[in-house]
Structures are given as structure tokens and as C-alpha cells.
Amino acid sequence: MFGFDPSDFIPYMIFAIPIIAIVGGITLAIVRTLGRQRLIELAQQERIAAIQRGIEPSKLPALPLMADDDDLTPGISPAERDRRRSQGLLIGGVVTFAAGAGLSSFLAVIQSEERAWAVGLIPIMIGLALLLSAWIVAPKGGQR
């Protein structure tokens, strides 16, 4: 009746993937922020109730912070947080560097006359940047 063929709609489905990813990411960020806010609100209410019962505020645990996921981990020191962050960057850098080196080697073997191996330089450089950032944020001196 309208001349609508469902197969005409199929090429536009490729746009659904990035739209769903973006909306999902924004939704996740909102839900995470609301969860953190609720956690802090509950901690404040608990703190007020304890103070009303006569407990000294200095004996109460510190309120959770909103800055990072690691800050909400109870009992973690700033040095431990920095060590974990550095370790995560180090692992990511090694894996990305190795993937880039493997991709370059693979393309060099398959296409020996072409310069396709240079595609592997992109993940290699990303891996080196991650390794450099792991070295920069690693705890220095007596913090280890």
C-alpha cells in the first residue's frame, strides 16, 4: 500500500549499534552517579544517627568520596590506589604493545612487498603511551 519494503530499512540498522552504545554509556554513568550519591547520603544519615546516640565523630569511619571508583573501596590507601592504577595501565600497555607487534609481524609476513605492517604501529604507540603513563602514576620512593 505505501510501497515500504523491509529490506530498505536494513542498511540503516548499522546506525543502531553506535546509538545504543552511546545511550547505554550515558545511562550507565547516570545510574552509577545516582548509586554513589545514595551511598554517600546513607553514610551521612548513619553518621548523624550515631552522633545523636552520643558516639564521638572522631571514632566514626570517614565518608566515602565521589571522585573515583577506587575511593569507594573501604580501607584502601592513596598509595595502594596509585599502585593499582599503575598496575592496570602496565597490563594494558603490555597487552596493547604485544598486539601491535603481532599485527605488524603478521602483516609483514603476509604482504612482504607492501607497507601494511605499519598498521601495527598504531597499537604499538598506544601500548607505549600506556606503559609511560603507568610509570608516571606509579608510587615513587617510600610509598611502595
Q: What would the pLDDT profile of 78-111 be if each residue is shown by its tens digit?
A: 778 788 888 999 999 999 999 999 998 888 888 8
In this predicted structure, what is the pLDDT of residue 68? 52
Mean pLDDT rounded to a whole number for the chain: 82
The answer to whether residues 82 and 118 belong to one domain is yes
The model's pTM: 0.50
Sign of the torsion formed by the C-alpha atoms of 65, 71, 77 and 82: negative
CB 123 within 8 A of CB 100: yes
Q: What are phi and psi of 32, to 5 degrees?
A: -65, -45
- pLDDT over 50 at 144, yes or no: no
The answer to whether residues 32 and 80 belong to one domain is no
Return left, alpha or beta for 58; rule: phi > 0 is left, psi -120 to 50 is alpha, else beta. alpha
Element (H, E) at 17: helix 16-52
* Number of domains comprising the chain: 2
Q: Which of 66, 90, 105 is the last residue of a domain?
A: 66
Domain span at residue 45? 1-66
The answer to whether residues 143 and 79 belong to one domain is yes
